[in-house]
Amino acid sequence: MPDLITLTIDGVEVKAAPGTTILRAALERGIYIPHLCDHPDLEPVGVCRLCLVEIEGRRPTVSCKTPVEEGMVVHTSTPDLERTRRVNLELLVASHDYNCQFCARNTRCKLQEVTRYVGLQQEDMDRLRKPPLDQPLDDSNPFFVRNMNKCVLCGICVRTCAEIQGDGCIDFAYRGIRTKISVMGDGPIAESTCVSCGECVARCPVGALVPKKAEEPSYEVETVCPFCGCGCGIIVGARGGRIVSSRAVPGHPASGGSLCVKGRFGLGFVNHPDRLKTPLIRRGGKLVEASWEEAVSLVAERLSRYSGAQLAVIASAKCTVEDNYVLQKFARAVLGTNNIDHCARL
């Protein structure tokens, strides 16, 4: 393990691994530096200019792209920094939709966090010329809504799509005050190459990308995604006996903190009113509820009437790899049949 680098941030001694940026080193030490465009999963770009710091002996620089150095002395709050940061933030907020009360990202918005820290007031906003907020909502995707009136052009969604998902379906478009995030041809996102993974939605720092069904859970449980045998880690949010949210487990060994469209948006079947909750057996031509013991005994009795190639087994992608392995061993070694299929085969 390489030796740690020692630096000083706002008079506090901080130790960090070589290659760590000043911003990450400060945040890990509990020292807050305002930022919008930085995300630990992505390469830093330094576009929001809110994380400016002063390094003794140098000009002000963005902390998200500057690696730590031995003996470095950093100041995160000086009169010049505060003045520059305030101007940068005012320009961002001036073209932003203020309707925070009804935003799904309210109280969890990075722009709100930075605004509170900097201390912007209503009069600071009123003196700036605001462009018209006339971008139409894009609700073409069945799982999330795009509201470009709330976008701060941090580029996190663009970088997420390119660096993590490898899709690259969105990018910066137009110039100047008309700059926005767009798909090819500036059409609805449903008509693009978007695979609805929701990775951009999970990382958007403001309310520009939010799920269509956004409910706050009363509690969360870490578990494994039920859709395939990959074993992706998910954190399921529940409320009133219903699943209302699903997000990835950060740094999970199987999924690395990512999810597909099924794991993030496809758990609605759990609460579907038509979902079976007890076994059903046929009596008198009708399906009636039965106990598990009765159902298993009936299946065992019926299977005993057949042998070998007369039997077939259907596996499931919702089982783990280990479960499916045991099932095929059961088919071949116990039932004596090679007739086994799987719903996820191509």
The topology under which CATH files domain 85-211 is: Alpha-Beta Plaits (3.30.70)
Kindly provide the b/e burial profile for residues 156-184, where b requires at least 16 CB atoms within 10 angstroms of the residue's own CB: bbbbbbbebbebebbeeeeeeeeeebbbe
What separation in angstroms does the CA of 262 have from each of 195, 225, 267, 290? 11, 9, 7, 31
Report pLDDT digits (tens) over 165-201: 999 999 999 988 889 999 999 999 999 999 999 999 9
Q: Provide the CATH number for the domain formed by 5-77 in this structure.
A: 3.10.20.740
The topology under which CATH files domain 219-271 is: N-terminal domain of TfIIb (2.20.25)
- When computed from its CA atoms, the radius of gyration of the chain, rounded to whole angstroms, is 27
Question: What are the start and end residues of each CATH 3.30.70.20 domain in the chain?
Answer: 85-211
Question: What are the start and end residues of each CATH 2.20.25.90 domain in the chain?
Answer: 219-271
Cross-strand pairs, 5: 16
Confidence grade of residue 214 (pLDDT, cut at 50, 70, 90): confident
Report pLDDT digits (tens) over 217-275: 999 999 999 887 788 999 999 999 899 999 999 999 999 999 999 999 999 888 888 88
The pTM of this model reads 0.83
Residues 217, 228 contacting (CB under 8 angstroms): no
Confidence grade of residue 346 (pLDDT, cut at 50, 70, 90): very low
